[in-house]
């Protein structure tokens, strides 16, 4: 793995991939998956080790640093960014014993795929679990070396319950060769993510390769290792809205600048092109701005000072 130790260095590598990914876009769309060679290059450069603790050979980046990298990849192709994000399931390392974590990450180019849908059944047996189930929308499953699949734990023929009375769920780590991929991903958008179904039939999973969402057992003291899973693993926008937001931010800046100029005797901010751009922005982001289509500054002014 190259000596990439900072988010800035990985961000520069992401920018260098831009033209390579753009050249592959039609192939990604047609094959409904990332090309094998592209996925392995991304893995070798560390894109699938963004959240992995440094003790296991990862970069251990913050969510904000990771989002900048996901966004840069999404500028070239949203499916690539989605698969890289979904393959960074290394919040699992905080829930595993060091021995189990090193087993999974012994290969520096390992890629994982996961499902957070509790679609499986893990029957308690001596030494571990017997796992059966079918999971949908497992993005990047054709690239994965390991599958991280959420199951409902069963004991004595019925679900094991938590203290709150809800069924207990646990993630199970299974090698990809123990899973069957069912080709179901025929969609209009994000075709390249290869989000097919995954089926597991009566596979034994040892206790050390199962974990929950809470109570990390890792030896790391860093607060980031003990952050809850979903805040640690922020999701990029599927529809590329973040990229559109950046472009429209630049348009708003240009509008403000041009409002102070004149163009052939007409204030540029009042030209049809600029008015049309502003109208498109209001329509596009109205659902996110609040009721009545308020702009973000107006919405912020109505919130608590701490939000501002």
Residue 237 pLDDT: 53
In whole angstroms, how far apart are CA 123 and each of 154, 206, 207?
A: 5, 12, 12
Residue 134 pLDDT: 98
Domain co-membership, 197 together with 271: no
Residue 220 pLDDT: 63
Residue 152 CA to residue 167 CA, distance in Å, equals 7
Cα-based torsion angle of the residue sequence 98, 104, 108, 109 in order, rounded to the nearest 10 degrees: -160
Residue 113 CA to residue 235 CA, distance in Å, equals 15
Domain co-membership, 24 together with 141: yes
**Alpha helices (H) along the chain:** 7-16, 18-31, 36-44, 63-76, 78-87, 98-104, 229-232, 241-258, 272-289, 296-301
Structure-token pair, residue 303 = 């919130």
Domain co-membership, 283 together with 144: no
Domain co-membership, 59 together with 192: yes
Domain co-membership, 15 together with 78: yes
Residue ranges making up the domain that contains 76: 7-232
Domain co-membership, 166 together with 283: no
> Is residue 306 in a domain?
no
Domain co-membership, 40 together with 91: yes
Domain co-membership, 142 together with 221: yes
Can you tell me which residue has the tokens 């949908």?
Answer: 136
Q: What is the mean pLDDT of each run of 10 residues along the chain (308 residues)?
A: 73 95 94 95 93 86 90 94 89 78 86 93 96 97 94 95 92 96 92 96 94 65 60 54 52 54 46 55 47 41 36
Structure-token pair, residue 123 = 């029957």
CA 233 to chain centre: 7
> Strands 112-125 and 146-155: what pairing?
parallel
In whole angstroms, how far apart are CA 206 and each of 9, 77, 200, 211, 235?
A: 38, 38, 15, 11, 30
Residue 165 pLDDT: 92
> Is residue 2 in a domain?
no
Enter the DSSP assignment of 239. T
Q: Looking at 232, 261, 285, which one is the last position of a domain?
A: 232
Domain co-membership, 198 together with 277: no
Residue 287 pLDDT: 46
> Is residue 110 in a domain?
yes
> Is residue 161 in a domain?
yes
Residue 13 pLDDT: 95
> Is residue 289 in a domain?
yes
Residue 103 pLDDT: 85
> Is residue 296 in a domain?
yes
Domain co-membership, 270 together with 215: no
Task: Please state, as a whole number, how many other Cβ atoms lie within 10 Å of the Cβ of residue 30.
Answer: 10
> Is residue 1 in a domain?
no
Structure-token pair, residue 262 = 């004149």
Backbone angles phi, psi at 163, to 5 degrees: -60, -25
Q: Looking at 215, 232, 249, which one is the last position of a domain?
A: 232
Domain co-membership, 30 together with 149: yes
Number of compact structural domains in the chain: 2
CATH (domain of 35) = 2.40.110.10
Task: Please state, as a whole number, how many other Cβ atoms lie within 10 Å of the Cβ of residue 168.
Answer: 17
Give the closest residue to 233 by CA, choosing from 121, 141, 118, 116: 116
Q: Looking at 197, 232, 267, which one is the last position of a domain?
A: 232
Residue 94 pLDDT: 73
Domain co-membership, 191 together with 282: no
> Is residue 267 in a domain?
yes
């Amino acid at each position: 793995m190259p000596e990439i130790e900072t988010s800035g260095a990985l961000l520069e590598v992401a920018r260098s991939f831009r033209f390579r990914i753009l050249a592959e876009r039609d192939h990604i769309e047609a094959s409904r998956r990332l090309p094998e060679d592209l996925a392995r290059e991304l893995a070798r450069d560390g894109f699938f080790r963004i959240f992995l603790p440094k003790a296991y050979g990862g970069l251990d980046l913050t969510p904000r640093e990771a989002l900048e990298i996901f966004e840069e990849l999404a500028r070239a192709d949203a499916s690539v960014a989605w698969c890289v994000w979904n393959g960074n399931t290394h919040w699992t390392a905080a829930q595993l014993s060091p021995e189990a974590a090193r087993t999974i990450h012994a290969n520096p180019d390992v890629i994982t795929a996961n499902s957070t849908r509790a679609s499986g059944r893990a029957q308690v047996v001596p030494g571990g679990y017997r796992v059966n189930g079918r999971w949908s929308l497992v993005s990047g499953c054709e690239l994965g070396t390991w599958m991280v699949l959420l199951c409902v734990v069963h004991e004595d023929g019925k679900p094991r319950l938590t203290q709150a009375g809800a069924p207990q769920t646990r993630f199970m780590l299974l090698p990809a060769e123990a899973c069957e991929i069912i080709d179901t991903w025929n969609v209009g958008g994000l075709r390249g993510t290869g989000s097919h179904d995954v089926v597991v039939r009566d596979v034994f999973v040892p206790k050390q390769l199962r974990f929950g969402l809470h109570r990390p057992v890792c030896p790391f003291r860093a607060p980031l290792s003990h952050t809850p899973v979903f805040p640690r693993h922020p999701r990029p926008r599927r529809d590329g809205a973040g990229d559109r937001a950046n472009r429209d931010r630049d348009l708003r800046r240009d509008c403000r600048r041009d409002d102070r100029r004149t163009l052939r005797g007409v204030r540029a901010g009042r030209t049809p092109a600029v008015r049309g751009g502003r109208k498109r922005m209001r329509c596009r982001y109205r659902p996110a701005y609040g009721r009545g289509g308020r702009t973000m500054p107006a919405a912020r002014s109505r919130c608590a000072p701490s939000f501002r």
